[in-house]
Amino acid sequence: MIPKTMKAAVVRGPGKPLKIEEVPVKEPKGNEILVKVIASGVCHSDVHAALGEWDVPTLPLVIGHEAIGHVVALGPYVTSVKEGDVVGVPWLNRACGHCGYCASGHEVLCGDQDNSGFSVDGGHAEYVIADANYVGRFPKEGIDFYEMAPILCAGLTVYKGLKTSNLKPDDWVAISGVGGLGHLAIQYAKVMGYNVAAIDIADEKLDFAKENGADITVNAAKTDPWTFLQEKVGGVHAVVITAVENEAFKDSHKGLRRGGTITPLGIPDGSVEMPIGPTIMNEYTLRGSVIGNRQDLQEAIDLAVRGKVKTRVTKAKLEDLSDVLDKLKNGKIIGRMVLEISQPV
Q: Kindly report, residue by residue over 260-312, the tens digit of the pLDDT.
A: 999 999 887 778 788 999 999 999 999 999 999 999 999 999 999 999 999 99
Helix (H, G, I), strand (E, B) or coil at 327: helix
Distance of CA 173 to the CA centre of its chain: 19
pLDDT (average), residues 123-143: 97
In this structure, the number of other CB atoms found within 10 A of the CB of residue 288 comes to 10
In this structure, are 195 and 315 located in the same domain? no
In this structure, are 234 and 330 located in the same domain? no
Q: Look up residue 141 and give its amino acid.
A: E
- Residue 116, pLDDT score: 96
108, containing H or E segment: none
Query: How many residues does this entry show for the chain?
Result: 345
Q: How many domains does the chain have?
A: 2
Cβ-Cβ contacts under 8 Å for 7 (sequence gap 6 or more): 20, 21, 22, 125, 126, 318
pLDDT at 129 over 80: yes
| pLDDT single digits (tens) 155-179 | 999 999 999 999 999 999 999 999 9
Domain of residue 300, residue span: 5-152+292-340
pLDDT at 321 over 80: yes
174, containing H or E segment: strand 172-176
In this structure, are 185 and 70 located in the same domain? no
CA-to-CA distance for 105 and 95, rounded, in angstroms? 11
Q: What DSSP character marks residue 116?
A: B
CA-to-CA distance for 4 and 293, rounded, in angstroms? 33
If you write DSSP's letter for every residue of 265-297 in order, what string do you get? -S--SS-----HHHHHHTT-EE----S--HHHH
236-241 and 172-176: which strand pairing? parallel
pLDDT at 19 over 80: yes
Give the range among 38-42, 121-125, 131-135, 324-328 with minimum mean pLDDT.
324-328
In this structure, are 280 and 165 located in the same domain? yes
pLDDT band at 51 (very low <50, low <70, confident <90, very high): confident
Classify residue 221 as exposed, middle or buried by CB count within 10 Å of its CB (0-12, 13-18, 19+). Answer: exposed
pLDDT at 210 over 90: yes
> Residue 167's closest CA among 66, 241, 261?
261
| pLDDT single digits (tens) 224-253 | 999 999 999 999 999 999 988 888 888 999
pLDDT (average), residues 178-203: 96
In this structure, are 28 and 143 located in the same domain? yes
- Residue 272, pLDDT score: 79
In this structure, are 165 and 248 located in the same domain? yes
> Residue 182's closest CA among 232, 239, 229?
239
Boundary (domain end) residue, out of 286, 305, 326 = 286
Classify residue 340 as exposed, middle or buried by CB count within 10 Å of its CB (0-12, 13-18, 19+). Answer: middle
Peptide bond into 268 cis (omega under 30): no
CA-to-CA distance for 35 and 66, rounded, in angstroms? 12
Cβ-Cβ contacts under 8 Å for 118 (sequence gap 6 or more): 45, 49, 54, 56, 57, 58, 61, 63, 65, 91
In this structure, are 183 and 238 located in the same domain? yes
> Residue 263's closest CA among 176, 178, 150, 156?
176
- Residue 38, pLDDT score: 98
pLDDT averaged over the chain?
A: 94
In a domain, 106, yes or no: yes
In this structure, are 10 and 148 located in the same domain? yes
In this structure, are 139 and 113 located in the same domain? yes
CA distance readout (Å), 59 to 67, 137, 156 = 20, 29, 27
Q: What are phi and psi of 271, to 5 degrees?
A: -140, 165
pLDDT (average), residues 24-46: 96
CATH of the domain at 128: 3.90.180.10
> Residue 117's closest CA among 44, 25, 28?
44
Per the rule left: phi > 0, alpha: psi between -120 and 50, beta: everything else, 263 is beta
In this structure, are 141 and 73 located in the same domain? yes
| pLDDT single digits (tens) 262-274 | 999 988 777 878 8
The dihedral formed by the CA atoms of 13, 42, 244 and 53, expressed in degrees to the nearest 10: 0
In this structure, are 14 and 143 located in the same domain? yes
In this structure, are 141 and 9 located in the same domain? yes
pLDDT at 1 over 90: no
Q: According to the 3-state scheme, what is the secondary structure of 127-166?
A: EEEEECCCCEEECCCCCCHHHHHHHHCHHHHHHHHHHCCC
Boundary (domain end) residue, out of 286, 315, 331 = 286
